[in-house]
A = this chain, B = another copy of it.
Amino acid sequence: MAYSPSVQSLMEALRCLPGVGPKSAQRMTFALLQHDRDGARRLARALETAAETVGECRRCRTLTEEDLCQLCASDRRDPAVLCVVENPSDVQALEDATDYAGQYFVLKGRLSPLDGIGPGELGLEALEARFTDGEVREIILAVSPTVEGEATAQYIASMAAEADIRISRIAHGVPLGGDLDYVDAGTLSHAFAGRARYG
C-alpha cells in the first residue's frame, strides 16, 4: 500500500457513503486533500454535529435535531390532514412538487415481517393514537407501490376505517419500485392531485 495511514483511513471511511466504491473514495480523498481542505473540515463538522444531535420529531418521526420539526411546529399546516410517507426525503419531494398544506407522518420504512419490520418499527401505534384522538380527519397515503408498500397501505387503511377517517392514496403515476424522491416533480404533482379513494 503506497498511501500513508491518514490518507488510507480517509479513503476507507468514505466507503460508508452509499454508492462510493474504492475508485470514488480515492478520487474524493485526493480532491479534498489537494483542492478543498476547507470543504473537508466543514464536512467533518457537519457530520459530527448531525451524528450527535439529529433525532426524530416526536410527532411525525422525521429526522430533526429539534423536539418538533418545522412542519409539525408550524401553525400554518392543517393538523386535520395527514400525509403518510416512507422517508424524510419524501416529505421534501412532496413539499417541492405540491401545494399540500397538511401535516406528515414518516414511517421510515415499510412493513416487512421477514426483515423484522412490523407496525412497531414504523410507529403505527403512535399513528393510531393520532387517529383515535379525533384531530385527524383525512389521510393521504404516499407510500411506494411495492409489495411491502401495499401491505403497509392496507394496514393503515384498516386502522383508518376503524377510526372512520377518510383515506386516499396518491395515483400510481409513480413508477413501480421507484423511490418518491427519484420521480420528477411533474409526475409526483400529478400523482398527488390524482389520488384515488382507498379502502
Interface residue? A66 (CB, 8 A):
yes
| Identical chains in the assembly | 2
Interface size on A, residues (CB 8 A): 61
CB atoms of A63 and B50 under 8 A apart: no
A53 CB, min distance to chain B CBs, angstroms? 5
A3 to B16, CA, bound (A): 22
CB atoms of A71 and B2 under 8 A apart: yes
- With contact pairs A4-B70, A19-B27 given, residues A48 and B54 touching in the complex (Cβ less than 8 Å): no
Interface residue? A114 (CB, 8 A):
no
Instruction: Point out the residues of chain B lying under 8 angstroms from A120, CB to CB.
Output: none
CB atoms of A44 and B44 under 8 A apart: yes
A-B contact pairs, 7 of them (CB 8 A): A17-B43, A19-B24, A23-B182, A26-B92, A40-B48, A41-B47, A44-B45
